[in-house]
Amino acid sequence: MDSAERATNRSEQKSRKFLKSLVRKQPQDLLLVIGTGVSAAVAPGIPALCSWRSCIEAVIEAADQLEVLHPGDVAEFRKKVVKERDLLVVAHDLIRKMSPRTGDAKPNFFQDCLMEVFDNLEQHIQNPVVLQSILRLMERGTMVLTTNYDNLLEIFGQQQSKPMESLDLKDKDKVLQWAKGHVKYGVLHIHGLYADPCGMVLDPSGYKDVTQDPEVMEALQNLYRTKSFLFVGCGETLRDQIFQALFLYTVKNKVDLEHYMLVLKENEDQFFKLQADMLLHGIKVVSYGNCFESFPEYVQDLSTQICKQRSPDADRVDSTTLLGTSCVDCAKRRLGESSNDQLKRPRLADNGSVEDVAPL
């Protein structure tokens, strides 16, 4: 084994270390934030799931193939995707371009393009390890929100007979129930879902009703203050304007919080700079490895470690409960016998001897 291989192995061993402060969290104390990295790991055959840029490029390509966008506009948007840093702006303009000119923001051809891009998602699930890990955490009380348009998690969960629900921020009642932990298998899509383009909004102004609703905002921000957010596959989430409007810019004293972000460590200098920067937001940055292929196994191992944690409620369970129903019955009989012994009253028999008689 040469020095390069030894260095690689040392790096891989390091990537398998977990922060004790993270793995000792109770699952119900965590809130997973799922980004495009999860979809890319699960369904690598769909380029649109790999990143925001890839998604927008795929929508433009679909619009060109379906002939629902003028060739001049197609060329212009392709340039914007390459040059524009804020891809949400590009996506928003693209939606507007394929919507009615009446001023109504309801998408029209945009919906057809999305259906084309995300057609038959269930057939493209190649590596469900990450989804299995997320479901295990959800079973134990972990909440989930996502910036993704796809519903791969819900599709996979339904295949496992879980009552999955896709939620968006426009359904106030559902969001409030979810925030209270009453929708166990609910996945909150803060950008909306591709299957319902009318509910998709790509800039904070589109969520004006939400951000100006004190009840909803307090419920969401309370989660950021009381839960530990675990960002999984979220390369650009903290730059996301909607996430910033809902959480980052509105929650005070973020440095006192304890959130976590799993990232790819391609460049050491950039990685450690990111670590230092994110601590100002109360976020601990953790490397899952030096290559994306390490991501699924790391998430699997991490979820296994977290799910091993003993619930505090378990310590309050009576020992007879842990031993089973038969032992409970035995305990009841012993308890009854003991009580009867204490309550027996002595009585003088006809022959002069004393005999114990249990009370009627």
pLDDT digits (tens, 9 = 90+) for 267-282: 999 999 999 988 888 8
Distance, in Å, from the CA atom of 297 to the CA atom of 309, rounded to the nearest integer, reads 19
Distance, in Å, from the CA atom of 241 to the CA atom of 244, rounded to the nearest integer, reads 5
Q: What pLDDT is recorded for position 335?
A: 45
Write the CB contacts of 115 (distance below 8 Å, at least 6 apart in sequence): 194
SS3 138: helix
Kindly report, residue by residue over 148-182, the tens digit of the pLDDT. 889 999 999 999 999 999 998 888 999 999 999 99
Residue 29 has pLDDT above 90, yes or no: yes
> Around 258, how many Cα atoms within 13 Å sit in the side-chain half-sphere?
9
Which of 211, 172, 168 shows the shortest CA–CA distance to 186? 168
Q: For residue 176, count other CB atoms closer than 10 A to its CB.
A: 17
Q: What pLDDT is recorded for position 344?
A: 46
For the whole model, what pTM was predicted? 0.77
The overall average pLDDT reported for the chain is 80
pLDDT category at 349 given cuts 50, 70, 90 is very low
Give residue limits of the domains in the chain. 22-45+127-310
Residue 116 has pLDDT above 80, yes or no: yes
Q: For residue 269, count other CB atoms closer than 10 A to its CB.
A: 7
Q: Does domain 22-45+127-310 have CATH number 1.10.3470?
A: no
Report the pLDDT averaged over residues 123-146.
95
Residue 222 has pLDDT above 80, yes or no: yes
Q: Let me know how many helices (H) and strands (E) the chain has, helices first.
A: 17, 9
Q: Is the C-alpha dihedral spanning 275, 278, 280, 281 positive or negative?
A: negative
Distance, in Å, from the CA atom of 302 to the CA atom of 101, rounded to the nearest integer, reads 49
